[in-house]
Chains A and B, each alone.
Chain A
Amino acid sequence: MRTIARVAVSVFRESVRNKVLYSLVCFAVLLISTAYLIGQLTAGQDIKIIKDLGLAAISIFGLLIAVFLGITLVWKEIEQRSIYSMLAKPLSRSEFVLGKYAGLALTLVVNVGLMGLAYYAMLAYMATTFPPEARAAWPAPAVDPALMKALGLILVELLLVTAVALFFSTFSSPFLSAVLTLAIWVIGTFDADLRNFESVVASPSAAALARGLYYLIPNFGAFDVKLQVVHGLPVSWDYVVTTAAYGAVYVVLLLTGAVAIFSRRDFK
């Protein structure tokens, strides 16, 4: 456990020094701030669109960070052969993989946290620019704690995407891993459509494939509660917790697979 924590801390330190990551986070924060400008342009009597844009920016940039880090981290270690000296140290291969994941998770938590702070700061400032009559008409306040639910589920989704990326990166190239990870994310996001696929296509085998994918691939759509919270509709804590647990199950399965593959492979 301590070994895993040590590996995780070193991953976090690496990510802090990673220029690509830096620029992604900075750019996201910038974009969240410009939601303010967009709000000004769109007649400006409603904050909903700004809230929605901000959350979308956080989840898109989070996704980029998760995929980028998830696919490059382990692969780079193998490609540059730094893994040779590391695996000779007193740690097992599973501790190595789990440490990497824990470090990625820590990085994501911090980054989503930072983006979330920027988001709330932007909303707080925005609120002051609206007249009180306009504010009274909003379905939810500008600085709405319910947004945390959306942010939390975005984080869970990103942790899951990272696990998918890490899983693929234990046996394939970054390019292939990126393609596969994004494919899974896209399919998982439009999961609900897969279910209805059989009513659209005639071929029974295509329908069976679609159904198989539906059950195998996590339903990423479930993590998206942006619209509800932005419109002030209730999202129950039950739902948040259940969905997070659903994500956690997938993460555990993927990490188990990643460890199994990583422990058996040769580093040539």
Chain B
Amino acid sequence: MDAIRTEALTKHYSVGFWRPRPYRALEGLTLSVGQGEVFGFLGPNGAGKTTTLKLLMQLIYPTSGHAEILGRPVGDVAVKRRIGFLPENPYFYDHLTAEELLEYVGALFGYSARECRARATARLDEVGIGAERRLQLRKFSKGMLQRVGIAQALINEPEVVFFDEPMSGLDPLGRREIRHLILRLRDRGATVFFSSHVLSDAEALCSQVAIVVGGRLVSSGHLTDLLALRVRGWELVMAGLSREAIERIPGVLRVTQVGVDRYVLELPLTPPPEQLLATCVAHGASLVSLNPIRDTLEDLFVRQVAAAGTDRGLSTPDARSPESTR
């Protein structure tokens, strides 16, 4: 059984006050996330990530399609016992202290008062909220609220964890802590589904990713397998060669001088660079480094955003530009 499964999940909002028009926030998302995976749900701002998470939490209802968590339809109270959710830019009852909030959340799971307190303490320790836990949440900074949000999501030691932009609002140290926390969750066997527009987060954490742009899934799979992220050439750094010698090498796409006799050569994917390397070395050059050139996720975003265009309206031609509808 998959931890999360969606089938043609679609959400249209109606926008515009005088003349409401449908707007595609999410279109036909089909995904499955296996248990125990750390799954990165990636996409630029406005791609439909939060919409997807809200659909999975049944905060909104789909226009069409279907979603399941742990084999049960979303919204099932029994399933909610086994999951945790961190909303985007979380906000909580601001008259409560962090400790009280966590105890209340624990009480909703039916834990005894004693257990609520123990769990609250443990989770707040885990996310690095110290003595501030006795302060009312209205006095918390964005980053601290984010940590409290993570703590409340984990109060029940969930089997499936949903994080919407878990790193947002955190300083670099905080980001590293959250990365470690996610890896600890994985080691415990939990499934972690998190959204992010920051690609390095995903590259450091995920086994699987899905990329959404403009409300549509554009690719999914192993990060390294993603077609769009395949190696597209080689970057060769050589020392001890003369400019003339380099100019005579066939098939070099670009040459950049980076030192007195140091050059960066950009080579195509084929032929493989071994042959060329051997020739150069035979001519007395020394190898500094050889690296594959990949598209970064950034490149992919940029390309996909351009390709997906802005067409998210449904019927009327003037609904084509979302800017005009927001």
Contact = CB atoms under 8 A, between A and B. Distances in A.
Nearest to A95: B77
B54 A267 contact: yes
Contacts of A10: 93, 104
Interface stretch (A64-72, A83-91, A191-199): A83-91
A48 B269 CA distance: 99
Interface in B52-103: 54, 57-61, 77-78, 80-81, 83-87, 89-95
Contact of A90 (B54, B58, B80, B91): B80
Contacts of A267: 54, 59-60
B61 A266 contact: yes
A83 B87 CA distance: 10
Interface residues of B, number: 33
B59 A90 contact: no
B85 A85 contact: yes
A85 B153 contact: yes
A103 B241 CA distance: 81
A90 B108 contact: yes
Contact of A266 (B60, B80, B95): B60
Interface centre among A6, A14, A82, A90 (most CB of B within 10 A): A90
Contacts of A3: 108, 110
B77 A92 contact: yes
B300 interface: no
Interface in A46-100: 80-92
B152 interface: yes
Given A14-B95, A80-B91, A90 B81 contact: yes
A80 B95 CA distance: 13
Nearest to A92: B77
B87 A81 contact: yes
B87 A84 contact: yes
A91 B91 contact: no
B13 A268 contact: yes
A217 to B, nearest CB: 30
A3 B107 CA distance: 8
B95 A6 contact: no
A87 B108 contact: no
Contacts of A81: 87, 89-91
A82 B91 contact: yes
A151 B54 CA distance: 45
B48 interface: no
A3 B111 CA distance: 11
A10 B54 CA distance: 25
Contacts of A268: 13, 60
Given A90-B108, A267-B54, A85 B95 contact: no
Interface string A151-168: 000000000000000000
Contacts of A92: 77
A87 B60 CA distance: 11
Interface string B260-303: 00000000000000000000000000000000000000000000
Given A90-B80, A267-B59, A2 B110 contact: yes
A6 B80 contact: no
Contacts of B77: 90-92
Contacts of B78: 90
B218 interface: no
Query: Closest 5 interchain pairs by CB?
Result: A88-B85, A84-B87, A266-B60, A90-B80, A267-B59
Given A82-B91, A88-B59, 17 more contacts: A7-B108, A17-B95, A18-B95, A80-B91, A81-B87, A82-B93, A84-B85, A85-B85, A85-B87, A87-B57, A88-B57, A88-B80, A90-B80, A90-B81, A91-B80, A264-B61, A266-B59
